[in-house]
Amino acid sequence: MTNYLITVIGATAIGKTTLSIKLAQHFNTEIISSDSRQFYKEMSVGTAVPSSLELASAKHHFIQNRSIFEDYSVGQFEKDALNKLNKLFTKNRIVVMVGGSGLYTNAVIDGLDYFPNVDSKIRVELNQELKTKGIQFLQKKLENLDKESYNTIEIENPHRLIRALEICIGTGKTYAEFKNKPKAKRNFTPIKIGLTADRETMYNRINKRVDIMMEHGLLDEAKKLYKNKNLNALQTVGYRELFSYFDGNCTLKFAIEEIKKNTRRFAKRQVTWNKKDESILWFNFEEDVAKIISKIETIINVNRN
């Protein structure tokens, strides 16, 4: 019997959580989250963690299961997720995975990419440039060295940005070149369901979500985390902008607009990342769920025969 991993993909605020729950309920199965921002229990408002009602509607895994004080890599997540899938497949040959972190999603489905070791001095120099010249200087450097990675990775995250740059500088090749490798063998067949919307609709949904986050206490949540602002887990949109406000570098109104702008930029990168994958089955975010389920069941029945 073939195992299936139904993976819900799409830009932030597009409706992935709602669809994943409906799919899990229909197939009487559980959900694995591959959203790297939602792993951390101290971050809930700013990462749009599913509500208590949503979490009760279907069993979720890898939601707020870590602390921001723990180091947790994509490699560790890959191992943990595969172990969890093996257990879940003993109960149901269909499992749902959802998340906006393309790197983490791809690690589960295809395996991690191999990157060679490079001189550690390069990272030290890049971190120094980050401190003295700012993140935009490094972003421009990556754009010049590796336009493909500049357009796809989360360049607002200094850890990811510096990782891509050190590979480019240390190897003389682009970071993107090392991402083209044979896929790892898995004991499941992925079915990728993508949700899409026109850009104006997507951006309006993002702006509205940020407003709701502020109403639900994002400012207070960020204030509690401010003393730990240098932790890697907190180098993310929604917190970094408010930390800048707490530092006295901008007004609260400006910080909120920056959250919206940077989230829109993040969504644009998600779209660019996902466009490269021709195996994704795309649906409008308002599509009748019954039609999506019908398409999934057709694929499963064809493979069964």
From the annotation, which residues make up the binding site for substrate? 12-17
Structure tokens at 76: 């560790």
How far from the centroid of its chain's Cα atoms is residue 141's Cα?
24
Q: Where are the alpha helices (DSSP H) in the chain?
A: 16-26, 52-57, 74-88, 102-110, 120-133, 135-145, 147-152, 158-171, 199-215, 218-225, 240-246, 252-275, 289-304
Bridge partner residues of 5 (DSSP): 95, 190
Please provide the DSSP assignment of 130-144 as one string.
HHHH-HHHHHHHHHH
- Binding residue ranges: 10-17
How far from the centroid of its chain's Cα atoms is residue 186's Cα?
21
d(CA 71, CA 233): 9
d(CA 165, CA 144): 10
- Binding residue ranges for ATP: 10-17
Q: Distances from the Cα of 4 to the Cαs of 34, 88, 100, 138, 301, in angstroms?
A: 16, 11, 20, 40, 12
Tell me the residue type at 72.
Answer: Y
